[in-house]
Each structure stands twice: as C-alpha cells, then as structure tokens.
Amino acid sequence: MRPTSVALFALFALLPATPAAAQQARTIAVGRVVTDSLTARDPVGRSRKASYHVWTLDGRRGQKIEIDLASADFDAYLVLRDGEGYVIGRDDDSGEGNAARLHAILPREGRYQIVATSFSESGRGRYTLGVSGWETPDAPPAGAAATLRPGETKDGLLEPGDEVSGDGPFQDRWTFDARAGQRLRFELRSTDFDSYLVVLGPDGAQLATDDDGLGDNDASIAFRAGAAGHYTALATSYGDDPKSGAYRLTLVEESGDFAEPGEAGRVAAGETKDGRLETGDRFGTRGFEDRWTFTARAGQLLRIDVTSQAFDTYAVLRFGETPVDSNDDGGDGTSARIMTVAPNTGTYTLVVSAYSEGRAGGRYAVALGVTATPAAAGAPARIAPGQRLAGRLEPGDRARDGGGFEDVWEFDARPGQDVTIEMRSGSFDAYLELRDPQGRIVAENDDGLGEGTDSFVFAHLEQGGRHRIVARGYGDRESTGFYELALATAAPAGAPGRVLELRDGDAIVGRLEPGDSVVGDSTYADVYLFRPSRSADVVIDLRSGDFDAYLLLQDAAGRTLATDDDGGSGRDSRLSFGVTAGATYRILANSYGEERATGAYRLSLRFAP
C-alpha cells in the first residue's frame, strides 16, 4: 500500500465550506471568463480560514474541462467538487506564477461546484476565473491495457472508467516483454498530477515503486529483469484522490558495463566508471545504493565525483565502518563531489545513492582523482603546465587586505604563450587571479568553469617570466578548505577559417578573429565537426572571458538543430543534445549579438553520464 494522505471526507473538511446559499448565486459555463473579488465580507472555510466564492457549473458525463484561477493580489487556490460534495480535483500553482489550473474529466452529468479561494488565510483581492474545453492527447481507451516497447514514448490519460487502485486513484496498465537480465528504465511525467509508478513482475508481484524519482512530481523506475516474461507498469497518481489528467510514459533500455545488482565495484585513481541504481541493489536509508572500493594512502587528497542525468546523486565515503565525508550537490548541478584528505592508508568504500529517499535509480558515473598532499600553510608553491595539484586555504596562509586567505602558485612562461587555469573546490566559492612578473592582474575569474562555483581563466601572456596564480575564495569571508588547481598550455585550435574535428572528451582553445567563417548575422564563427561513436546525449560547453558565447549545433547539411546563449555560467553557453552514432554534426563557436566580437574561448565536448 502506498503512503496515503487523508480520506475524502477529511479532505473535504479542510477545504472551504459551503453552503453556497450563504453567498449570492454565482454561475459559470464552459467558454466563459468572469472576474470578481474576495473580500473580508465573504465567508471563510472551516479549516483553511480563507475567504472563498462558490461558482456552479453544469457539466456532462465525460466532458473534459480546464479551469483557470489567476490573481495579482493573492496566491490562487482551486477546488472542484461534484453535486454531493466529493472532491474531484484541487490545485495551487499549476498555472503561471501563483495561478491555479485544474484539468478534469467530469464523471457524470449534473451540477458541479468550483471553489475560488486563496492559499493563505489573508489572501483577498480581485481574481479572474475561466472554464474552457481541455484538448487531451490521443490515448488508449479508458480501462484498456496498452503495450509499450523499449525506446517508445506514449501518451496516456487517467480518467473515469479507468481501473481504480486499491487505495483510490485511477490507474492505467502498460504491458511489455523483457529478457532475463535486461536493464530498463521507466519515466512518467505529468503536469496534471503527482506521478506514481509501479512495476509488476510476470507473476504479478510488485517489483518497484516510485513517486518523485525524476524530481518535481515526476516518477522514474530503473530495474533489471530477473527473468524473461511479460511485465506490467501501472501509471497512476500519488495519494488517495482519483485524479484525472494527461501523462507521458517512456521506456528506455540501458546498456553498459555495470556491476551485477548488489555487488561492489572497483575504481582506481584516474578512472571513471559507470554504475546503475536498480532493483536488486542494496536498499539503505535513502533507497537503492551501490558500493565502490579503492585504496589510498594517508595524506592523499581525494576527489570523487558522482554524476547522473537520471537522479540527484548522493555520496558517502567510509574507511571501514567509519564515515569520512559525504556530499549531495558539491559538483555541477545536482552532482555529488567529495574532496577530502585520506586519514588512513588502506581500502575505502564509496556508497552511491539518490539524495531523495525512495526507489529513484538509473545510470550514473563515478570518477576518482588522487593528488599529493597540499603545500604547507603560507608557503608559495610551484606548478608546471600539465599538472593538477591540491591546495588548502587555512589559517596561516597569506592574509588578504580585504579579509580572507590566499595561496600563491608560481610558474614560468614564454612570451606569447596561451595558458588555461582551473580551480575547483567543494568547500568554498573559488576565485582565481593571474598576475604577470610585475604583479599586475592579467586575468581573474569567479565562476567561469560553468560547474557550480568553480573558476576558469584563459589568458594570452604578452611577456615571459615568472607568473603568479592567486587562489582564494570569492568575497571577503575567510574561506577555508581544499581545492584543486590545474595549469595547462593551450595550442591554438588552428588557422582562421579552418574546420577541425572534435572527439569525445576534447577541450580546445580557439579564437574568434578576422578570417574566420561568418554566419548569417555577419559575426565570426569557428566550425568543428563531430562524428559520435555511439548514440547518446552529448554536452557541449563554450566559455569565454572576451565575449558573450553562443553555440550552434547543425546537421551535415547545415540545418540548425539547437542553439544556446547563456545556458552555462554567466555569459557562457552549454548545449545538451541527443546524437546518433555515425552521423556528422557541425558545431559553431560563435558570439551573441550583431557585433563582430573577437577573442579567446574554450570549447569542450563530452558524452553525458
């Protein structure tokens, strides 16, 4: 039995009370929009204590309607009841902003009541109420089971006439065949109700359930078929109410070199491994969990990244049974990142799960980086191109005039050399300064890496000699904690106008300049070709400190497939797109606006985890 809310009559008591006779008669029909005002003279609900109006609507059995309640004065709240007072639906913020929007399929012919009220007790003011027809997607007939195959996405509709689950809501049955050992993932999305998924095995036994595994109110289940056979997915809504609404159901087959469910994986320094949370895994306090082991020496700095497009990752690091560190969103977006010093020499265990408690799962990637012990507090350190070293801001470091600590790193450069510098930290908002031999700032950056609060600098060095990198936290606070610093020399991408080919994992430094290709608005663009080795989602990042980055993705014929202006950090661009193995794509590194911007940029491409 899924968790329940309250019974219908208890729910009814929480909503605005009638009788409608306490108010002047208000009627509305499909196709009408009315305006009115909630005032202190209006009746209030017994439990919600908010002013309300009751509007009557005459409806037909099976009629599909959309009700919109909007106000600039209060947070709108809608309730739809039948003639006997049973709640058919309710909504708070499904419209734009604080507007309420409710989709419903009327179960019988008769008179219905629409309660227009405020979410808060003090909400009063003018509002607009409208009722219109609701165009639903093509879906299987009410109560009929439908089939779904891996790779398909189909629309469905919860409505009167559907099968009713044991605890109240409508549910649709979708059947599919699976091979023994086949890994599949269901995704259920709806803007009309809180999605809830159930997967049943060939024998009818419940294998997995999920409520919000995709985030928001969408559900996802990743599972491994234990035996060949005929399986069933139940698409329904969360709670006790028999809610009507449209949804979209997707079934995806996932392939990869995953450990068997419940078995620990092994990852070494410098490796990135794929994993999958699925049925058959251990079930911990946050749901499904995988374990990965590795060895480290005391004093080494460990950086562990866990990324996924399927769920919000959570990571716990243990030495034996002793917790060492844990993290939720220290990486990019909802990715977990742990940066810590190994306290002991020996075998460590990384526990990977979803942050939300439940049965969320799916594909993820775990990456392990191990670097040497940071330099002593306050001492300048040396870094050479190609190195990735660890540092630590701590008491004893050089104090900044404006407050806080800073570390200084030195390297030697040649005149005209291009360099890139990355600074990453899970402990504070990283900030970079690059200074020339005279101490002047050549470049500085706060969040240029486009991954959370990490920093990135690209610089063309006009003079040779000893340069200094100042690593610190953003602002005047006394930021402390570990960070990683990487220095690299960058060769120009090629002569102006030349077309180069990119591969997965490439990061290229280029420059927009006269002689480059020109796009339709007369701005400069560098063109790159990409021929993916597999069908998957790719992530393309374009970063620049010299211009507002703009990305275009085209097919081989030059037809635009996707564009992005500021999808990355600040004015940087990021595109995520599903590509097909063997196809040819054109990636254009461009600037936003009509002016012919020039300057350096960094373009990177990788397959999404």
Claim to verify: residue 27 and residue 114 sit in the same structural domain = yes
pLDDT at position 491: 57
- Tell me the average pLDDT across 360-376: 82
Average pLDDT over residues 282-296: 91
∠ Cα 556 562 566 (to 5°): 135
Q: Which of 189-198, 376-385, 539-548 has the highest mean pLDDT?
A: 189-198
Asked if pLDDT for residue 11 goes beyond 60, the answer is no
Taking each continuous run of H as one helix and of E as one strand, the counts in the chain are 1, 48
**Strand residues in 297-344 grouped as ranges (E):** 301-307, 313-319, 322-327, 336-341
Higher pLDDT pick, 576 / 478: 576
> Is 61 inside any structural domain?
yes
Residue 7 has pLDDT above 70, yes or no: no
282 and 200 fall within a common domain = no
Same domain as 122, residue 26: yes
Q: How confident is the model at residue 600 (pLDDT cuts 50, 70, 90)?
A: confident
Residue 214 has pLDDT above 90, yes or no: no
β-pair partners for 176: 231
Same-domain status, 122 and 13: yes
Does any domain span residue 299?
A: yes
In-domain check, residue 3: no
Looking at the domain assignment, is residue 510 inside a domain?
yes
Q: What is the pLDDT of residue 340?
A: 86
Query: For residue 222, what is the domain's CATH number?
Result: 2.60.120.380
Identify the residue with better confidence: 268 or 209.
268
> How sure is the predictor about 210, in pLDDT bands with cuts at 50, 70 and 90?
confident
The number of distinct structural domains making up the chain is 5
Q: For residue 204, what pLDDT is reported?
A: 93
Residue at which a domain ends, from 109, 133, 157 = 133
Q: Which residue has the higher pLDDT, 92 or 507?
A: 92
- 174 or 95, greater pLDDT: 174
* Average pLDDT value for residue range 523-528: 90
- Asked if 121 and 234 sit in the same domain, the reply is no
Under the banding of pLDDT at 50, 70 and 90, the label for residue 83 is confident
Q: Could you tell me where the beta strands, DSSP code E, fall in 159-267?
A: 163-164, 170-178, 183-189, 195-200, 206-210, 219-224, 229-237, 245-253, 265-266
Q: Is the pLDDT of residue 370 over 80?
A: yes
User: Could you tell me which residue, 497 or 76, shows the higher pLDDT?
Assistant: 76
> Is the model's pLDDT at 92 over the cut of 70?
yes
Supply the pLDDT for residue 5.
Answer: 39
pLDDT tops 70 at residue 21: no
Q: What is d(CA 458, CA 543) in angstroms, rounded to the nearest whole number?
A: 9
Confidence of residue 530 (pLDDT cuts 50, 70, 90): very high
pLDDT at 248: 94
CA atoms within 13 A on the CB side of 393: 29
Residues 6+ apart with CB under 8 A from 421: 432, 434, 455, 456, 457, 459, 469, 485, 486, 487, 488
How, if at all, do strands 170-178 and 146-147 pair? parallel
Q: What is the pLDDT of residue 373?
A: 67
Same domain assignment for residues 78 and 32: yes
User: Does residue 163 sit in the same domain as residue 246?
Assistant: yes
pLDDT at 240 (0 to 100): 79
Average pLDDT score over residue span 569-588: 87
Q: Per residue in 390-433, pLDDT tens?
A: 888 888 888 887 778 999 999 999 998 888 898 988 788 899 99
Mean pLDDT, rounded, for 278-298? 90
Q: Is the pLDDT of residue 57 over 70?
A: yes
* Model pLDDT, residue 447: 77
What type of residue is 196?
Y
pLDDT of 10 strictly over 70: no
Whether 140 is covered by a domain: the verdict is no
Q: Are 187 and 219 a contacting pair, CB within 8 Å?
A: yes
* Together in a domain, 86 and 179: no
**Final residue in a domain of this structure, among 133, 156, 188:** 133
67: nearest Cα among 129, 142, 123, 4: 129
Q: Are residues 579 and 603 in the same domain?
A: yes
Confidence of residue 521 (pLDDT cuts 50, 70, 90): low
**Same domain membership, residue 281 and residue 204:** no
Question: What integer pLDDT is reported at residue 358 of this predicted model?
Answer: 64
Residue 87 located in a structural domain: yes
Answer with the residue of higher pLDDT: 208 or 133: 133
In a domain, 260, yes or no: no
Last residue of some domain: 489, 512, 527? Answer: 489
Same domain, 176 and 229: yes
- Residue 566 domain-assigned? yes
Confidence of residue 475 (pLDDT cuts 50, 70, 90): confident
What percentage of residues in the chain have a pLDDT greater than 90? 42
- Which is higher by pLDDT, 534 or 256? 534
Q: Is the pLDDT of residue 6 over 50?
A: no
Which residues form the domain of 357?
A: 265-371
Same domain, 19 and 113: yes
